[in-house]
Structure 1
Amino acid sequence: MNISDQLSLTAKQQPDKAAYIFQDKETSYQELEVAVTKFASSLKQLGYGKGDHIALVVGNSPFFVIGLYGALRIGATVIPINPIYTVDEMSYILKNGDVKGVITMDVLLEKFEHMDAAIPGIRHYFVGETGGNPDWEQASLSGKMKPFTNAVGAGSLELERPELNDEDTAVILYTSGTTGKPKGAMLTHRNIYSNAKDVADYLEFTNDDRVIAALPMFHVFCLTVALNGPLMNGGTVLIVPKFSPQDVFTISQERKATVFAGVPTMYNYLLQTGDDMEETFKHNRLCISGGASMPVALLKAFEKKFDVIVSEGYGLSEASPVTCFNPLDRPRKPGSIGTSIKNVENRVVDELGEEIAPGEVGELIVKGPNVMKGYYKLPEETTVAIRDGWLYTGDMAKMDDEGYFYIVDRKKDMILVGGYNVYPREVEEVLYDHPNISEVAVIGAPHRDSGETVISFVVSDNPDLNEEQVITYCQEHLAKYKVPTSVEFLEELPKNTTGKILRRNLREKITQ
């Protein structure tokens, strides 16, 4: 079974039930099923088939849902990409991911015009109309562009589906790595289906649930917990195009939402702007937090103000992503990521890979049907990440006597900005390309609104180079949330005797 086939089954069982609501328009499971089948048919007519890679570069919208399930239905591999990525970031993924087709939006066509010539393998751009670019059909890509709605309309309901195996790659999620370049985690149909099913069952999703999808759908947290999970058990997805506290309050109240999923930053914004909104979540049975450890003080304050329960969980792209959640059948523990979900095993081990006693700190490792089959075109990286069937997360954790896990520290040096992962090496690689920068180190610093912010320390032989110039340079090559908010110039970076940069010394500088 795979999620696209599951959608067909649900559409037969409850054809008239709302699958999703977007901008006050309800789309039933049967209507979604028809659109998915017809889009899949169009892709097939255009020569796409099993194993082809199709990028999904759209915001939270029906384009994403139909595009995802339609591509999967013909056996294509979907590569979701953050729409706010720069041309440099996006073109790398499109090239490395061997993408042949792109599902995108009219407002993003300018980016693709800049990179199309460098990526000759792309055959078509399926363009979703948002109204934000009325002249989009005049773009220089006209020979490759196809309106998304036309592609759906041109399809047939007579679709011969390919035979899909559980181990066929369904989705490739690009996540930054130690090399500074993103690496693609290959998730199979089994990975995607099993995690969506196990999460839906663990969180007790039913067809009565109305789940707010305000997290970005291209991120695996939203993809599994707020999209595939609810659709797996016949629920309704309430699509929020872009997170804003007011939009969440409004849709929660008007649509009587039962579940909200977000990162701690979102909860902080909702708490700070939620005056006179205490009744907003009165129909809500559960709030889900992930992406970063949620401060206990924030968790308690949010629960008290809105009279809801917040269940914290844990996951990573390589695990589709969820491995832990606080259980619903007994009191959750503030500060804990919960216990292992169904069919997934978590352990805390020492440097030799041996399981350690409760209360001791070690590396969290994971095993289950949700664990990726490897990194795309990176066999050596795969061997390092997966050993004897266990995925080594790189996160330091501990477990208590009742099987609850606690993250002690995030992956070494990773920075979390507004729920997005920023890996210092990726920013450093960009800065190292600057002709006047000889050394650089990037760290994270606490930030009241975004959780953390990016700080860079630079060594330059050009006395005229200033902070504004460095930041402007980064803005040309990095997504907004990865750009340093401040730059400090040093004569040299602190290092140990082997030449390794001492990041802890740099962190001490910003706390002084």
Structure 2
Amino acid sequence: MKTPFTPLEAALRTFAVHPERPAVVDGTLRLTYGEFAGQISKLVQLLHQRGLQAGGHVLLIAPNRFDTLLAFHAVPLAGGVLVPLNPAFDDDGLNVLSRHSDPQLALVAQAHLERVQATLNDLGIPVIPLCTEHDLNPAWQDFVPEPLTLPDTLDENAPISINYTSGTTNAVSADPKGAMLTHRNVFVNNVNMLYHLNLRPGHQYLHAIPMAHGNGWGCVWSVTAAGATHVMLRGPEDLRSTVEDGITHLCASPSMMGSLADPASASALPRPVRIMLAGTSPRPGMIGALQSQGFEVLHGYGLIETSAILTITDLYEEKTVGPDARIVARQGHPMLFGGEIAVVREDNTPVPHDGVTPGEIVIRSNTVMKGYYKNPRATRRAIQDGWLHTGDLAVIHPDGRMDILDREGDLLKIGGQPISSVQIETVLYRHPSIREAVVVASRTASGDQPVAFVTLHPGAQVQGREIVSFCTPHLPEYALPRRVQIVSELPKTASGKVLKHVLREQVKEKRAALSAD
């Protein structure tokens, strides 16, 4: 017998087995899993009443709130495909992607409805407002809860969601990339997250990552599968207090954890908190700083196209290497069912496991997307001969752990010598005044020149020439930054990644870049 792989099956089990356990905490709102299931049933009925058909797309634009979590369960249980867009996308991005995704219905937070209302009106898309002033949305409260079941038409190879990559809004009108993640993709990702995070009933998971970004790295469903409690983060300023108030697990990007890892505000946690760091490489010292406070740090790597996290340096591996946070800073091995991951040269031959030779990360896994929605050319570029080509550069160490270097376009070639921007950034982070550091290339006729953009810790005062002098003993002369720009903030995507193309444009136009001398 064969039944479809889907994360919804585990959710239905939790509703049946743990109806009295706490399911959701969102401000003053508290719901058990029995009550949560009742709200899901009501929203499913409303979606059908509003015309949702099997396989129909449902646009979702909302912050991390209870209504948003509800949609991640109700839409696929109603037979639909969720299209979550991060509210942090700019207005042009939201409107272009709203058109591109071909929705039948839209679930939009009232605070963001005005931004896309004209487009949705033009498309004739019915809108259900979310995140109202009510704890329980009155739009579906008139319905009577009914037993929840899997849709009759469920196909494990059909999309459960279409997730637009955060970089697409940079040129979204030309080449939008909506990764079609299938029920099977997300099911395997759920198993990986449940195993490595070790989620169980009674645990409290904090949704710090936007649910709209890679489905909260899959945790919108894996927390439910575990019978753990979903806790909503109301704002970044509440991160420390919320983490200290009973949280046991969270996922976050290094940029989100910057304030908690700052020595000036560090404090011991009242209990251990397991955290999955991913998204970008953490700055040197961050992992050790978090560990010293009581965080149990897992470090992962993945893409939207791989249903989020795919590789990990796990807690067991940490204990085998002692306090050496440099090992944890590597992105590790494939997760339990991560599939095959290789680092290859341009001719697709594997690089040696020497920790030095760079190559492109390629992936063959059950978590790799079905393809990009309505973009076959981008799909063909990404998936070649059964392997997903990521465009990310890495090395493999003798112990088999992968270590991310750069995106292909971020590798600098100076005087014929290749050097990763991360190698230069690592040295910059050793300076006690530097909070964040990013290096991009200034393209010249004679080759690349490294240009550094840095932010400083509060109260720090330092000049560009001092930073270059600090780097001199630690880098070859050709790799020293030729300019250092001290800025108050770095431009970032909705998911916290630095927008290097914005910085490259500033360098190209010679705007604001201060000479190091």
- TM exceeding 0.5: yes
* Aligned counterparts of 2:390 and 2:502: Cα–Cα separation in 1: 28
Residue by residue over 1:9-42, the C-alpha shift from the partner in whole angstroms, topping out at 9 and shown as x without a partner, is 1111111111221114321111111111221122
Q: CA deviation at 1:158?
A: 5.4
Q: Structure 1 residues 129 and 342 mapped into 2: Cα distance closer, same or farther (>3 Å)? A: closer
Q: CA deviation at 1:510?
A: 6.7
Aligned to 1:227: 220
CA contact (8 A) 1:210 1:237 kept: yes
CA contact (8 A) 1:167 1:188 kept: yes
* Aligned counterparts of 1:508 and 1:403: Cα–Cα separation in 2: 40
Aligned to 1:370: 367
**Unaligned stretches of 5+ residues in structure 2:** 322-326, 412-420, 423-437, 441-450, 459-490
CA contact (8 A) 2:223 2:229 kept: yes
Q: Structure 1 residues 84 and 409 mapped into 2: Cα distance closer, same or farther (>3 Å)? A: closer
Q: CA deviation at 1:352?
A: 1.8
Matches within 5 A, 1:381-396: 381-396=378-393
Aligned to 2:352: 357
Q: Structure 1 residues 266 and 179 mapped into 2: Cα distance closer, same or farther (>3 Å)? A: closer
Q: Structure 1 residues 223 and 38 mapped into 2: Cα distance closer, same or farther (>3 Å)? A: farther
**90, 95, 101: which one aligns with 1:97:** 101
CA contact (8 A) 2:362 2:387 kept: yes
1:270 aligns with 2:257: no
Residue by residue over 1:207-260, the C-alpha shift from the partner in whole angstroms, topping out at 9 and shown as x without a partner, is 232111122111117241x4322222221121113322xx22222222x21113
* Aligned counterparts of 2:400 and 2:99: Cα–Cα separation in 1: 43
* Aligned counterparts of 2:162 and 2:118: Cα–Cα separation in 1: 24
Q: Structure 1 residues 216 and 374 mapped into 2: Cα distance closer, same or farther (>3 Å)? A: same
SS of residue paired to 2:317? coil
Q: Structure 1 residues 171 and 302 mapped into 2: Cα distance closer, same or farther (>3 Å)? A: same
Aligned to 1:78: 82
1:39 aligns with 2:43: yes
SS of residue paired to 1:397? strand
Matches within 5 A, 1:335-350: 335-344=329-338, 345-350=340-345
Q: Structure 1 residues 148 and 353 mapped into 2: Cα distance closer, same or farther (>3 Å)? A: farther
Q: CA deviation at 1:483?
A: 12
* Aligned counterparts of 2:162 and 2:452: Cα–Cα separation in 1: 27
* Aligned counterparts of 2:514 and 2:401: Cα–Cα separation in 1: 35
Q: Which amino acid aligns with 2:139?
A: N
Q: Which amino acid aligns with 2:171?
A: G
Q: Structure 1 residues 378 and 485 mapped into 2: Cα distance closer, same or farther (>3 Å)? A: closer
Residue by residue over 1:355-406, the C-alpha shift from the partner in whole angstroms, topping out at 9 and shown as x without a partner, is 2211221001111111001011111211111122211111001111222110
CA contact (8 A) 2:64 2:210 kept: yes
**196, 199, 217: which one aligns with 1:202:** 196
Aligned to 1:164: 154
* Aligned counterparts of 1:98 and 1:444: Cα–Cα separation in 2: 41
Residue by residue over 1:111-130, the C-alpha shift from the partner in whole angstroms, topping out at 9 and shown as x without a partner, is 1333334333x1x1111243
Matches within 5 A, 1:301-450: 301-304=289-292, 306-331=293-318, 333-344=327-338, 345-359=340-354, 360-410=357-407, 412-413=409-410, 445-448=453-456
* Aligned counterparts of 2:131 and 2:390: Cα–Cα separation in 1: 39
Q: Which amino acid aligns with 1:402?
A: D
Aligned to 1:126: 128
Q: Which amino acid aligns with 1:407?
A: I
Q: Which amino acid aligns with 1:445?
A: F
Matches within 5 A, 1:240-279: 240-244=233-237, 247-254=238-245, 256-272=246-262, 275=265, 278-279=267-268
* Aligned counterparts of 1:511 and 1:409: Cα–Cα separation in 2: 24
Q: Which amino acid aligns with 1:70?
A: A
Aligned to 1:296: 284
Q: CA deviation at 1:268?
A: 1.4
**211, 214, 231: which one aligns with 2:208:** 214
Aligned to 2:271: 283
Q: Which amino acid aligns with 1:288?
A: M
% identical equivalent positions: 23
Aligned to 1:18: 22
Give TM-score, length-normalised by structure 2. Answer: 0.74
Q: CA deviation at 1:485?
A: 8.5
CA contact (8 A) 2:299 2:331 kept: yes
SS of residue paired to 2:255? helix
Q: Structure 1 residues 274 and 361 mapped into 2: Cα distance closer, same or farther (>3 Å)? A: same
* Aligned counterparts of 1:370 and 1:85: Cα–Cα separation in 2: 25
Q: Structure 1 residues 407 and 159 mapped into 2: Cα distance closer, same or farther (>3 Å)? A: closer
Q: Structure 1 residues 45 and 159 mapped into 2: Cα distance closer, same or farther (>3 Å)? A: farther
Q: CA deviation at 1:3?
A: 2.1
Q: CA deviation at 1:270?
A: 1.5
Q: Structure 1 residues 448 and 319 mapped into 2: Cα distance closer, same or farther (>3 Å)? A: farther
CA contact (8 A) 1:221 1:291 kept: no
CA contact (8 A) 1:79 1:173 kept: yes
1:3 aligns with 2:7: yes
1:111 aligns with 2:111: no
Aligned to 1:468: none
SS of residue paired to 2:392? strand
Q: CA deviation at 1:486?
A: 8.4
SS of residue paired to 2:256? helix
Residue by residue over 1:463-484, the C-alpha shift from the partner in whole angstroms, topping out at 9 and shown as x without a partner, is xxxxxxxxxxx9xxxx999799
Aligned to 2:432: none
Q: CA deviation at 1:131?
A: 3.4
Give TM-score, length-normalised by structure 1. Answer: 0.75
SS of residue paired to 2:350? coil
* Aligned counterparts of 1:118 and 1:444: Cα–Cα separation in 2: 45
Q: Structure 1 residues 109 and 308 mapped into 2: Cα distance closer, same or farther (>3 Å)? A: closer
Q: Which amino acid aligns with 2:46?
A: S
Q: CA deviation at 1:314?
A: 0.5
1:151 aligns with 2:140: yes
Aligned to 1:189: 183
* Aligned counterparts of 1:109 and 1:177: Cα–Cα separation in 2: 21
RMSD across aligned C-alpha pairs, in angstroms?
Answer: 3.4
Q: Structure 1 residues 307 and 99 mapped into 2: Cα distance closer, same or farther (>3 Å)? A: same
Q: CA deviation at 1:408?
A: 0.9
Q: CA deviation at 1:177?
A: 4.8
CA contact (8 A) 1:169 1:187 kept: yes
Q: Structure 1 residues 510 and 393 mapped into 2: Cα distance closer, same or farther (>3 Å)? A: farther
CA contact (8 A) 1:41 1:159 kept: no
Q: Which amino acid aligns with 1:383?
A: R
